[in-house]
Amino acid sequence: MEFTTIPNVQKKASRVALGTWAIGGWMWGGSDEKLAISTIHKALDMGITVIDTAPVYGFGASEEIVGKALKQYGKREEIILATKVGLAWESEKIYRDSSRKRIFKEIEDSLKRLQVDYIDVYQVHWPDLDTPFSETAKALKELLDSGKIRAIGVSNYSVEQMKEFQKSAPLHVNQLPFNLFERELEETVLAYCLKHQVASLGYGSLCRGLLTGKMRKDSQFQGDDLRKSDPKFKEPHYAKYLACVDQLQQLAKQKYQRSLIALAIRWVLDKGISVALWGARKPEQLEAIDSIWGWKLNSDDLKEVDQILTRMIPHPIGPEFMAPPEHRRKP
């Protein structure tokens, strides 16, 4: 396991975090609480110290499950608990709300669901264009000063939005989508974080399972699974992405004697992401984590990967399909 530091957090941060969106069930075809708790405990046993969740993941379900799992496991002072704020919902319809009023309501709801008295990393889930960034930032600064949170974060913010936020509060973390197939933020958001000592949490590191090597042309996605709305999982794009997966898988096996999963996460880390999120809801989905450590991609390796990506996916599709409405529109 590799470790790093998150500004203002006095704990070791594992460079892989457990992402718990799928554990909440919503947009992933349901959840099994007992299995989810076993998955969280497995992650902690493997040395993962960062757990990332959000209120909107299952409309409170993910936070509640994480809270139960951590209560059973103990060792709270060794675990970095990251959650989010600023997405409200009515009848499972999502809208952005990062107003001071909403933030002060959500922090209490999250603390209760998580069964803790503070949160290590508190992140604004999506920028709310109807609330002044100064209002959002000052509200989080109040929570920081009160001790209810240890670090201030944002997620899905552009460089310009981060700069505006920083006029009113310190910024310790930015969570951004980043993986082999969704890498357009490398020269902007990630570069800014690296230059200004803002820790970066990369979500979607395995591109919703596409980079596990387990997806097939006939793979079926059930219920409200978000991959049913991801253009990458629809033809004619899906076949191209699967062909690229095959090429990357061959490279990982022949050159590094590693799995595609190991290559995908190693690439994210070696590009400069502080902590890569690994989404899982079954303990066995974590078994490949140990294959990430003890090796790195050098500049020639990175060029070779880049050549495959450019050749196979000349026009990559981003993660924009996941974004909730930009303005605070109640259903």
Catalytic annotation, residues = 57
96 neighbors 87 (Cβ within 8 angstroms) = yes
324 DSSP 8-state letter? P
Distance CA 35, CA 168 (A): 42
Overall size of the chain counted in residues: 331
Task: Give dist(CA 243, CA 213) in Å, integer.
Answer: 11
In single-letter form, the type of residue at position 15 comes to R
C-alpha 38/C-alpha 73 separation (Å) is: 10
Distance CA 281, CA 226 (A): 15
Closest by CA position to 43, among listed 203, 280, 219: 280
| The token pair that represents 298 in the structure block | 């050098």
Closest CA to 85 of 70, 73, 64, 101: 101
Q: Is the dihedral of CA 235, 180, 5, 280 positive or negative?
A: positive
Structure tokens at 274: 């502080």
DSSP string, 259-299: -HHHHHHHHHHHTT-SEEEEE-SSGGGGGGGGGGTT----H
